[in-house]
Structure 1
């Protein structure tokens, strides 16, 4: 790896495009001076803003693109109109071609995943990619996946997610053998869907050296920080994320209402406003800006579309850490060990026997 971390940015992504992306990139550059940027987008919009940030301009190259993916474009529509021409596609393609180490976009999530999967393809032995999020907990932070890349998952895909999430925890949280739990409706082994129970049994029997399988966890364990990595499929994962976001906003609204009932309460709110703001930021997983697309032949970071410059800088910082801490190498090592263990063959045989019995 070179001394510089090369980051390709979809400069047109997000609600504000270059007006948010470029200041955010400059903040990240101040924190990590060894970043080089490849900026993809409309140069007539990028260059006037870039002129205001001499440090950023010196560390960046601008690549003109004629198409910007809209936030409300359907993934199929974005692929048809933006493939090979849009700022989003070309930022991803730079990773594929080895011109960048990681891509960051605040654009349309569905389009970004579709383009990333189409352009980069999934890693060997991984059937589906996943979106991993950093989740605030009482103990610090944990990794939760999948947050909505795909709906549904069989036992093998859940095991893949466990390995992917474990590698990310090692790269980001610095935990050499992270604890991993499968999200379920109860901790008892007899509860839950068959695929979840099968994945749990196989993970326990596999006894992987890169992670410590802790069994099933429930919804309230997400906030407790019971395990370092929580694994689920995209449907329930996305619901959990949106529920947590909504709860954080609900509590903030309750606090505002309670603090406005009297002049003494208003005074107390003013004195404690910074503490309440910190509480709201801590409780909302969406405030920990940046989701990581895992399982692809390259790293792609999704920043929130409505984020500000500080939030985008956080996503760029996450991208930097994923490259500097060699996320892809860790995933590859873990996958090789797992498949050499023979457990993949056991799952395939069990599937075949189950299908035969059903026939």
Structure 2
């Protein structure tokens, strides 16, 4: 089982705001992904250069009849520019997206562009949920049990124990609300399962999570790196530096592993014949391990839905990101997170 990205059971009245010019490849995959999502029933506001986006939309037959609308934004923060530019470049596409959410004109902001700029724009425009000190990037990794939810995946390199405890609560609500996982388990990433092992940060966080067990979350205890892919716990909390290393390591290893498999299956005539027999199974495995399957990661802790994808995202990833955003909106994730943090 993978994290759900299917079509919401009922189409949202509000569209998703897509930074349609962000990412390594600009409008091309964003527009195609938006068209695919619109055909699946999700309304999308394509934010970016009006002329370019209309020209790109014109390539898709029947797009004029889909729930798609272009919102002009002449500026875009490039992948090699500074995240701090969001403060001065108010008409940049990502800022327009988050403003649309703030003004109630869009349900979520989705971007495959500059991740730092997306985080900064979401935080500056939407603000934080009361009781949350720092938002975190929540992502899904394929695991033996289906998927494991990891956070922080890169928003905060330097953290405090209270941040990790808050993220554990945010992730617990997210999984209950969006993924229908009752009482999800929380694991704290460490160098050993024993309570006394780990850095000063881990030891302090462990004490906080242990105290919260049975009250606001279900704390399993410390876990090690191998447990992430074994699915030992539903949620893994760690600092953003470590979490980002884990994420990039997993993605890199998956590419290398499949490269080895392709080489092995193409090395001899016998292996080529065997490859034909297992092609379907390998395709399913590749699907589970492909980041495009999960679409984008949510920035949890801000007072609005914001999703951050890979700069190299293809149309399938954009589509799945938009579907995931629509599901989170339909599930009323933000009001439920705010309600959970209002309870002491």
Corresponding residue of 1:343: none
- Per the alignment, in what secondary structure is the counterpart of residue 261 of structure 2? helix
Corresponding residue of 2:86: 79
Corresponding residue of 2:18: 9
Are positions 1:42 and 2:49 aligned together? yes
1:307-326 counterparts in 2 under 5 A?
Answer: 307-326=313-332
Give how far 1:157 is off.
0.5
Contact 1:145–1:234 (Cα < 8 Å) also in 2 = yes
Higher fraction of helix: 1
Give how far 1:291 is off.
0.5
If the length of structure 1 is used for normalisation, what is the TM-score? 0.87
Are positions 1:22 and 2:28 aligned together? no
Distance 1:171 1:103 in 2: 19
Alignment partner of 1:128 out of 129, 134, 145: 134
1:30-69 counterparts in 2 under 5 A?
Answer: 30-31=39-40, 33=41, 35-51=42-58, 52-55=60-63, 58-69=66-77
Distance 2:77 2:65 in 1: 24
Distance 1:329 1:80 in 2: 27
Are positions 1:146 and 2:165 aligned together? no
Distance 2:53 2:292 in 1: 27
Distance 1:293 1:214 in 2: 24
The aligned length equals 334
Q: Which 4+ residue blocks in structure 1 deviate beyond 4 angstroms?
A: 55-58, 284-287
Alignment partner of 1:242 out of 242, 245, 248: 248
1:167-178 counterparts in 2 under 5 A?
Answer: 167-178=173-184
Distance 1:99 1:316 in 2: 16
Contact 2:17–2:44 (Cα < 8 Å) also in 1 = yes
- Per the alignment, in what secondary structure is the counterpart of residue 220 of structure 1? helix
Distance 2:20 2:105 in 1: 17
Are positions 1:100 and 2:111 aligned together? no
Contact 2:293–2:320 (Cα < 8 Å) also in 1 = no
Contact 2:177–2:333 (Cα < 8 Å) also in 1 = yes
Closer, same or farther: CA 56–318 of 1 in aligned 2, 3 Å: farther
Distance 1:98 1:53 in 2: 30
Contact 1:176–1:210 (Cα < 8 Å) also in 2 = no
Contact 1:249–1:280 (Cα < 8 Å) also in 2 = no
Q: Note the aligned Cα RMSD (angstroms).
A: 2.0
Give how far 1:74 is off.
2.0
Query: For residues 68-97 of structure 1, what are the alpha-carbon distances to aligned partners after superposition, in whole Å with 9 as ceiling and x for unaligned?
Result: 121221212x3256x321111101111111
Distance 1:150 1:316 in 2: 25
Distance 2:289 2:225 in 1: 15
Contact 1:148–1:234 (Cα < 8 Å) also in 2 = yes
Larger mean CA deviation between 278-287 and 88-97 belongs to 278-287
Distance 1:45 1:260 in 2: 42
Are positions 1:165 and 2:174 aligned together? no
The higher-RCO structure (CA 8 Å, 6+ apart) is: 2
Closer, same or farther: CA 284–241 of 1 in aligned 2, 3 Å: farther
- Per the alignment, in what secondary structure is the counterpart of residue 5 of structure 1? coil
Query: For residues 47-106 of structure 1, what are the alpha-carbon distances to aligned partners after superposition, in whole Å with 9 as ceiling and x for unaligned?
Result: 122233535654232221111121221212x3256x321111101111111111111111
Alignment partner of 2:206 out of 186, 192, 200: 200
If the length of structure 2 is used for normalisation, what is the TM-score? 0.91
Unaligned runs of 5+ in 1: 341-359
Closer, same or farther: CA 119–251 of 1 in aligned 2, 3 Å: same
Contact 1:50–1:57 (Cα < 8 Å) also in 2 = no
